[in-house]
A and B are shown apart, each in its own frame.
Chain A
Amino acid sequence: DAMVIQNPRYQVTQFGKPVTLSCSQTLNHNVMYWYQQKSSQAPKLLFHYYDKDFNNEADTPDNFQSRRPNTSFCFLDIRSPGLGDAAMYLCATSRVRSRDSNQPQHFGDGTRLSIL
């Protein structure tokens, strides 16, 4: 089945130690998104890639970076994690053409990040 896969499902890192979360997709979608979701809250968009075009949300901290080496893979890098960065991180994809009405996003199961 075509899907969005996130690895690892659970990640523990130390305060200030860089960490990378990964996302891969077999849907061949042109847009990939990263969301942060804290407990009992809605997901919050951090940034997205439209093909190779990177789009950062205005309030995303500089501590968060992303890479998309090819259509199938996207990475979330947190350079110096703080305690407030503990959350579920969700990757999503969609197929978007500029004139389309909004297409739904397809989500992975997320990576739960804990900070020691």
Chain B
Amino acid sequence: AQSVTQLDSHVSVSEGTPVLLRCNYSSSYSPSLFWYVQHPNKGLQLLLKYTSAATLVKGINGFEAEFKKSETSFHLTKPSAHMSDAAEYFCVVSVGTGRRALTFGSGTRLQVQP
């Protein structure tokens, strides 16, 4: 079985300061890991994905995440927050090949203060 835990339900940062959204996963096999962002009343947009290539993954809008197998973590970071980054972020894990379903974390709401 696989699972994913997002350690913070809410994170608040000031504009221009770093962002850290934490995610830990549990999987019996090598997982694929994703981060999605959801703005209010919108669908989910893929930020980045890890699929067993480089452990440091760069995504869109300046976000990146590092896969650490020893810590079973896949934390999302950004050096400098923008107001437009305020949204809900989901860490997602999937195991195996083919059409297996995604397992979502519970989400982290990022607030960016001016």
Complex Cα gap A41–B41 (Å): 13
Q: Which of A55, A100, A102, A108 contacts B43 (CB 8 A)?
A: A108
State whether B97 touches A100 (Cβ < 8 A): yes
B45 within 8 A of A: yes
Over the window 23-65 of chain A, the binary record of Cβ atoms lying under 8 Å from chain B Cβ atoms (1 yes, 0 no) is 0000000010000000011110100101000010100000000
Expressed in whole angstroms, the Cα–Cα distance for A4 and B101 within the complex equals: 18
- Contact string against A for B residues 32-44, beta-carbon threshold 8 Å, 1 for contact and 0 otherwise: 1010100001111
Residue contact A96 to B43, C-beta cutoff 8 Å: no
Instruction: Note all chain B residues with C-beta closer than 8 A to A31.
Output: 99
Selected contact of A90 from candidates B44, B52, B105, B107, CB within 8 Å: B44
B114 within 8 A of A: no
A98 on the B face (CB < 8 A): yes
Chain A residues 92-116 with CB under 8 Å of chain B are 92, 94, 96-102, 104-110, 112
The verdict on A42 contacting B98 (CB below 8 Å), with A90-B43, A90-B44 known, is no
The answer to whether the Cβ of B83 comes within 8 Å of any Cβ in the partner chain is no
Q: How many residues of A contact B (CB 8 A)?
A: 32
Q: Does B11 contact A (CB under 8 A)?
A: no
| Given A42-B105, A42-B106: A102 in contact with B45 (beta carbons within 8 A) | no
- The residue of chain B having its C-beta at the shortest distance from the C-beta of A91 within the complex is B43
Shortest Cβ distance from A106 into B: residue: B46
Is B73 on the interface with A (CB-CB < 8 A)?
no
Determine whether the beta carbon of A105 is less than 8 Å from that of B102.
yes
Instruction: Select from chain B the residue with minimum beta-carbon distance to A49.
Output: B99
B90 close to chain A: CB less than 8 A: yes
Q: In angstroms, how far is the closest chain A Cβ from the Cβ of B22? A: 16
The 3 A-B residue pairs whose C-beta atoms are closest, nearest first, are: A107-B43, A42-B104, A102-B94
A residues sitting closer than 8 Å to B (CB atoms) are 4, 6, 9, 31, 40-43, 45, 48, 50, 55, 57, 88, 90, 92, 94, 96-102, 104-110, 112
